[in-house]
């Protein structure tokens, strides 16, 4: 059988499939469940310094080719999250990635420093959706803002790898990734959801209470592949968790070919009952059929 193992900034994974942030919430038992289902690593829902309620319902819609959500980053706050991460680290049996967000570089550093006491394998900085800079723009929309957050956290957290999660709706995601790497980021997660909207023509209103939401599901995959490939060209050596619309083993192979070291699985958990186990089996089958023995062999040249 092909070797599906990979590594992210020195963190070893038995297989490249990573539960995406926000899919199974902040509860430790749900992260543990994803690990038992076959995930190579699991990511918690993003947490902030203080508890946050999020947006009013309806917050999500689903269709065969896309999903749209505007949850609003609801979470119990970092102090409650510390205990959930500790429990997941203790019992999941796979690396646990803790996702954090904030409204300023200083608060990002503070929440990352607090979550670090739970000893996650990686801290993921959600600078891309829907948390915003005080001027109303995402931190990920500017290399300068992304660098400011990365530097602030690196001053507070030195022993745990930091991955910066970037947005697709920027002019040059590769340049922003390169700036984050120069500022000390240990890895990049690409991508977050794409801003989108859906309208109910009979009700004559937007479906989501927030009007706008994040687009995910199969429709996002071509965008995600381009973004991951752009990040890889700009940052030849940095580890990348690539995700967005991956729902099959061949989709995972596409993401690896684009330049990812690991593959984020999100909406596939809704589309497929046993997403991690089936996608892992399909990826192994593809590699065997194509004569690939290890994951790095899959990557495109150039």
Catalytic residues: 129
Q: 224 has which bridge partners?
A: none
- Residue 78's nearest CA partner among 55, 104, 99 is 99
CA dist., res. 86 & res. 107, Å (int)? 21
Output the 3-class SS for 111-126.
Answer: HHHHHHHHCCCEEEEE
Residues in the chain, overall count: 302
Q: What is the dihedral of CA 286, 289, 293, 299, to 10 degrees?
A: -50
List, as own/partner pairs, every contact residues 292-299 make where C-beta atoms lie below 8 angstroms and the sequence separation is at least 24, other chains included.
Answer: 292/2, 293/2, 293/3, 294/2, 294/3, 295/3, 295/4, 295/5, 295/6, 295/16, 295/256, 295/261, 298/253, 298/256, 298/257, 299/256, 299/257, 299/259
Cα diameter, the chain = 54
Helix (H, G, I), strand (E, B) or coil at 41: strand
d(C-alpha 204, C-alpha 167), whole Å? 30
């Amino acid at each position: 059988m092909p070797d599906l193992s990979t590594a992210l900034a020195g963190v070893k994974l038995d297989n490249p499939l990573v539960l995406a942030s926000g899919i199974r919430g902040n509860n430790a038992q749900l992260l543990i469940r994803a690990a038992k289902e076959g995930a190579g690593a699991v990511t918690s829902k993003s947490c902030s310094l203080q508890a946050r309620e999020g947006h009013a319902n309806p917050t999500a819609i689903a269709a065969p080719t896309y999903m749209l959500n505007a949850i609003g980053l609801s979470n119990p706050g970092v102090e409650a999250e510390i205990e959930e991460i500790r429990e997941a680290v203790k019992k999941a049996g796979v690396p646990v990635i803790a996702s954090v967000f904030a409204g300023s570089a200083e608060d990002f550093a503070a929440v990352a420093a607090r979550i670090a006491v739970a000893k996650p394998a990686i801290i993921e900085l959600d600078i891309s959706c829907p948390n915003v800079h005080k001027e109303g723009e995402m931190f990920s929309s500017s290399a300068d803002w992304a660098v400011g957050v990365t530097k602030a956290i690196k001053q507070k957290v030195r022993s745990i790898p930091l991955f910066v999660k970037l947005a697709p709706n920027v002019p040059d995601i590769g340049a922003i990734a390169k700036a984050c790497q120069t500022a000390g980021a240990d890895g990049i997660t690409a991508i977050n959801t794409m801003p989108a909207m859906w309208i109910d023509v009979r009700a004559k209103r937007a479906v989501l209470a927030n009007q706008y939401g994040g687009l995910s599901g199969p429709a996002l995959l071509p965008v995600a592949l381009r973004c991951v490939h752009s990040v890889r060209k700009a940052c030849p050596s940095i580890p990348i968790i690539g995700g967005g619309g991956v729902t099959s083993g061949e989709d995972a192979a596409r993401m690896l070919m684009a330049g990812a070291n690991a593959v984020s699985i999100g909406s596939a958990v809704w589309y497929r009952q046993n997403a991690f186990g089936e996608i892992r089996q399909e990826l192994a089958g593809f590699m065997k059929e194509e004569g690939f023995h290890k994951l790095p062999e899959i990557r495109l040249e150039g």
